[in-house]
Amino acid sequence: MTTSLPANAELYRHAFEGMCDPVLLLKDGRFVDCNAATLSMLGGIAKPELVNHTPGDISPEYQPDGRASAEKADAMIATAMSDGFHRFEWMHARADGSEFLVEISLTPITVGGEVILLTLWRDITGRKQAERFEQFRSRVLELLAGDQLLPVILEAIVLGVEQLDSAMLCTILLLDKGGKHLKTGAAPSLPDFYNRAIETVEIGIGVGSCGTAAYTGERVVVDDIATHPYWAPFKELAAKARVGACWSQPIRNSTGQVLGTFAIYHHAAHTPKESDLQLIEHTAHLASIAIERSVAAEKLRDSEAHYRLLTEDALDVIWKTDSELRMTYISPADERLRGYKADEVVGHHVFELFTDEGVATVKEIMRQRKAIGSQSTQADFINFEAQHRCKDGSVIWGEVFSTPMFDEQGAITGYHGITREISKRKQMEEQVRLLAFHDSLTNLPNRRLLYDRLKQSMASSKRSGRYNAVMFLDLDNFKPLNDAHGHEAGDLLLIIAADRLKRSVREIDTVARFGGDEFVVVLNELDVDKTASTALAGTVAEKIRTALSAPYLLTISKDGKTDIVIEHRCTVSIGVVVFINHEVSQDDILKWADATMYMAKEGGRNLIRFHEGNI
């Protein structure tokens, strides 16, 4: 079924040319018109270079799925004509031969009795790159959470970045204990002779990209190794290894200490884009988490050797209690960790060491041991983690290893054990957990946590019989801000938008960043009546639309020196799906919400649209 254009041709032409996204008209498989945004996206070509050409003429010979562009274009057009609408992804080529990925919407319309396909393009290259980086980042965080060895994680980081761009050759180098030389942490794509040579050179200014970055603590970008003075002593080595550019980012720990470098090489001279610099910075941060976690684990293993000595010089707390759990001995390490002198602890009940949560943990362990009864043996020991009270009112985490002591008749006469302070490990575990399930920019739940929350929401809807809703939001007029003022301004706006979203919903609802300038809101426990639930969802959607449409005042640094304030206006298009039960999948609900959001986009933006199907 086709749609007729308005009769006012002048109004149509004004709207057609004023669209920010490319708009084209297809007739009989050939382009007959396009707006200025189309010509700009294709590399600044003139309109006659496009008109009367087919989609295959401005595309690579084959699409990413392996199908011939000309054949696939005919199939997509046929689908749009039969279904009345069709959306799909497509690889186009600019005038200079570079390729870019777009999302295409085809809608048949009637003009003067003739059927023409209204064609909308949306450049999704950046979104796809961001999605690939997020997938890579999640894989690395899963390795961190799974206690993989440092070499395995570092190699996964390097190979993951190389998969994002096959032209990149990546390395992670680690400072040795003396802080004078770099040793290879992971460099699978560079020749062995090159890696061995790098390890023999002392770091310093002018010692290549990585040696200089490690020494100064600053990023070093060398576009052309053959001409740069930092590489003068290593030109022959670089030529033999066939590397022509090297960008190196120092890897720092949480206190700012340089741990090593992450570097991206290219075979030929190459200048980084802003997205390349963001990639190298984010990857160095991932590497720092892995390295710092490994260092902490190594220190922990070293400290365990001290526990075995069971002396007054032990770094961890050695203690004994009687059968009534009253302290009979505690080592000086407790005063260093918690601030209590030994005479303030001995004679007191062991529960006084713990927080209320820690006491509950100990009581539960005692209950379980009592239930086991005679099945326990004298070799049994207890291991648990609990929060401990400090004299200054603060709290630390301790891992407790306890063994019962028995008399000749087998009766328990007391307990002795060791308490190891693990606060930093707990903080790092929490940091890894947050990074794995939250967006690093806005601290909102990411896609992985969103799917879990949506699954819970669907199960809750089935139990309660109440409708829930999902909103898919896409910011309008966001890209011009990035284009004019850079990603720093765009990131600030996303942070403010995330805060406004959280303030617009209840605690039981979920706000997640889906990617780029897209967000998803899950509204829980609305009403048992669909009409009432739809009205409630509409009220919240309008509240969100109003909040996100308010002006944004963004303070950014100009040329790294002067702060300037930018006022930017940014509206939002919202697609809403109201659902009950969990008979459909999370992917279906998100797909419907996404499609409905695009209806709001195509309806003029700054609109709210509801999915009209039955769920």
Q: Is 22 helix (H, G, I), strand (E, B) or coil?
A: coil
Instruction: Express each pLDDT in 562-571 by its tens digit.
Output: 788 889 999 9
Q: What is the pLDDT of residue 309?
A: 54
Q: What SS3 string covers 407-438?
A: CCCCCEEEEEEEEEECHHHHHHHHHHHHHHHE
Is-above-0.85 flag for pTM?
Answer: no
Res. 234: pLDDT tops 60: yes
Contact 99, 60 (CB under 8 A): yes
The answer to whether residues 27 and 117 touch, using CB atoms and an 8 Å cutoff, is yes
Mean pLDDT of the chain: 88
Whether residue 9 is predicted with pLDDT greater than 70 in this model: the reply is: no
Q: By three-state DSSP, how is residue 249 classified? A: strand
Among 161-165, 391-395, 507-511, 580-584, which stretch is predicted with the lowest mean pLDDT? Answer: 580-584
Which of 284-298, 517-531, 585-599 bottoms out in mean pLDDT, i.e. has the lowest?
A: 284-298
Locate 309 and state its tokens: 């000595």
Tell me what pLDDT residue 312 has.
Answer: 62
Helix 125-145 / helix 274-309 crossing angle, nearest 10 deg: 10
> Is the pLDDT at 520 greater than 80, yes or no?
yes
> What does the DSSP 8-state code read for residue 124?
-
Q: Are strands 23-27 and 30-34 parallel, antiparallel or unpaired?
A: antiparallel
Confirm or reject CATH 3.40.50.720 for domain 441-610, answering yes or no. Answer: no
Predicted confidence (pLDDT) per residue in 67-117, tens digit? 999 999 999 999 999 999 999 999 999 888 888 889 999 999 988 788 999
The β-bridge relationship of strands 518-523 and 510-515 is antiparallel
Q: Tell me the pLDDT band of 610, cut-offs 50, 70 and 90.
A: very high
Among the four given CATH numbers 3.30.450.40, 3.40.1520.20, 3.40.50.10800, 3.40.50.300, the one describing domain 128-302: 3.30.450.40
The pLDDT, as a whole number, for residue 377 is: 47
414-425: pLDDT as tens digits:
988 888 888 888
Judged by DSSP in three states, 393 sits in coil
Would the pLDDT of 374 be above 90?
no
For residue 150, which of 292, 320, 43 has the smallest C-alpha distance?
292
Give the residue extent of every domain in the chain. Answer: 3-123, 128-302, 310-426, 441-610
Q: Which CATH number fits domain 3-123: 3.30.450.20, 1.20.58.760, 1.10.260.40, 3.20.10.10?
A: 3.30.450.20
Give the chain's end-to-end CA distance (angstroms, integer). 25
Q: Would you state the pLDDT for residue 108?
A: 94
Over 60: is that where the pLDDT of 2 sits? no
Alpha helices by DSSP H, 230-273: 235-241
How far apart are alpha carbons 400 and 85 in whole angstroms?
A: 64
Asked whether 491 and 442 are in contact (CB, 8 A), the reply is: no
What pLDDT score was predicted for residue 379?
47
- Residue 85: in which H helix or E strand, if any? none
| Residue that wins the pLDDT comparison between 150 and 141 | 150
d(CA 87, CA 75): 12
- Domain 3-123 shares a fold with domain 441-610: no
Looking at 77-164, which runs of residues are DSSP E strands?
86-93, 99-111, 114-123
For residue 383, the model assigns a pLDDT of 85
> CATH code for 310-426?
3.30.450.20
Average pLDDT of the segment spanning 255-282: 92
- Is the pLDDT assigned to residue 469 strictly greater than 60? yes
Consecutive H or E run containing 536? helix 530-549
Structure tokens at 413: 């006469």
**pLDDT greater than 60 at residue 304:** no
- CB-based contacts of 373: which residues, under 8 Å, 6+ apart? none
Q: How far apart are CA 165 and CA 396, in angstroms?
A: 44
Give which of 518, 441, 519, 445 is closest to 487, Cα–Cα. 441
